[in-house]
Structure 1
């Protein structure tokens, strides 16, 4: 897969930027050309880890990162802690006024070489499995070019994870060709012990490296 080139057309002015972190200058580049990674974040408490996830992705030389958030996910992090462009539902509608204007969810799917949804909560899992696209994130996923990798990291309460519909929905996403980064067992924020916690950030980042390395081979 050849990486895409260029920035999202006419999108740079739509959201304020923080100064991006520079990549480690001494590290060998993962790829000879820059790859674009689009991170989707949903309303699981694991969204607390978004700043760390973005930070670790930015430490991979050759990667440019942008984030698409659901409205509920905003409860768990501060935008000031995200040093990349952050897109939400309002941006989709603010950008499009006339027929010739860019359509954000289409521009994002064109821009990205890899999509990573972390965390993927039970609600959005059900939407994606059913083809529902009622916000910016699910519209990007519905329009996603399935020749490019999409990774997802389920995260939910153990009781929700153990519901029979969950395994069916995860299997449906895998049937679409999406790559699961499995949840893990631990004591959850709610106090329950069991499966449902999002994979560790280091595990997620290593999987991104693995997939991108495979794509360029």
Structure 2
């Protein structure tokens, strides 16, 4: 007699299938633009569904979402503007939602894909909105303790890898890049970050040093001529969730969407 399968089991199976490394490999050449959209531990994470919905006007855009454990705490169904993490799967254009537990979910064996590497290969661009003070510190320090920081740490900062994936990365920078062994210009895929934190955190000397690293040492530069791979969207001044008024709030989410559309060449 066949054992019945609960809807919960079906949902888990479907999610595991959509989030598998095999699904990423299969989608490499689907003729769509690929956006990795990530959120880290800031209250501005509640803007993530709005960003996704606004981008849904582009049918040729495929979105895969990365969430840190702290970001997930802001998406637990607390209110209408804070849906559950699982509900993100149902949003338009979302083809995967990844959390730390998805990395190494199954025992690895030689020949299997590695999730954070396959995500990097799949992506045309990574956008982290919001970028918390904690995650920024990890990125600048080179830590790779979760799915998001592992993707960032494994990013092709010199445009030397993934030349065999069969797709030309959209929005990649060629300024300052050398040619590869075949004489083709290296293309460096971009990481866009939108910091969001308390005013005291934003004005802290360590934040100043970290932003300098992202903007000057690793930055794409004005007009993309810097040869780097990071673009920083400076925060705005407003009344923060903690009650303080000052700078540190994430750039207005509608402006973040416009920048994504511009960098990826998305048109209505």
Query: Shorter-chain TM-score: what band?
Result: 0.7 to 0.9
Contact preservation (8 Å) 1:41, 1:117: yes
Which structure: larger Rg? 2
TM-score between both structures, scaled by the size of structure 2: 0.67
1:197 corresponds to 2:249: yes
Distance 2:202 2:57 in 1: 32
For 1:129 and 1:75, locate their aligned partners in 2 and report how far apart those are by CA, in whole Å. Answer: 24
Cα pair 1:58 1:64 within 8 Å, conserved: no
**1:115 corresponds to 2:126:** yes
Q: 1:13 to 1:46 in 2, by over 3 A?
A: closer
Q: RMSD across aligned C-alpha pairs, in angstroms?
A: 1.9
Matches within 5 A, 1:98-177: 98-146=109-157, 147-174=188-215, 175-176=217-218, 177=228
- Give the C-alpha shift of residue 12 in structure 1: 7.2
- Correspondence for 1:50 among 48, 51, 72: 48
Q: Deviations over 1:24-64 (max 9, x none)?
A: xxxxxxxxx52100011101111111111111122234211
Match of 2:232 among 180, 188, 194: 180
**TM-score (normalised: structure 1):** 0.82
What's the CA shift for 1:145? 2.0
Gaps of 5+ in 1: 1-10, 18-32
Matched, 1:14 2:20: no
Cα deviation, 1:78-134, whole Å, max 9, x if unaligned, reads: 114312211011111114521222100000000000100010000000010111111
Once the two structures are superposed, what CA deviation does each residue of 1:64-85 show, in whole Å capped at 9, x if it has no partner?
A: 1000111111011111431221
Separation in structure 2 between the aligned mates of residue 45 and residue 51 of structure 1, nearest angstrom: 13
Q: Secondary structure at the match of 1:98?
A: coil
Moved more, 98-107 or 121-130: 98-107
Per the alignment, residue 183 of structure 2 pairs with none
Q: Counterparts of 2:106 and 2:39 in 1: how far apart (Å)?
A: 21
**Gapped runs of 5+ residues in structure 2?**
1-12, 20-30, 76-83, 158-187, 219-227
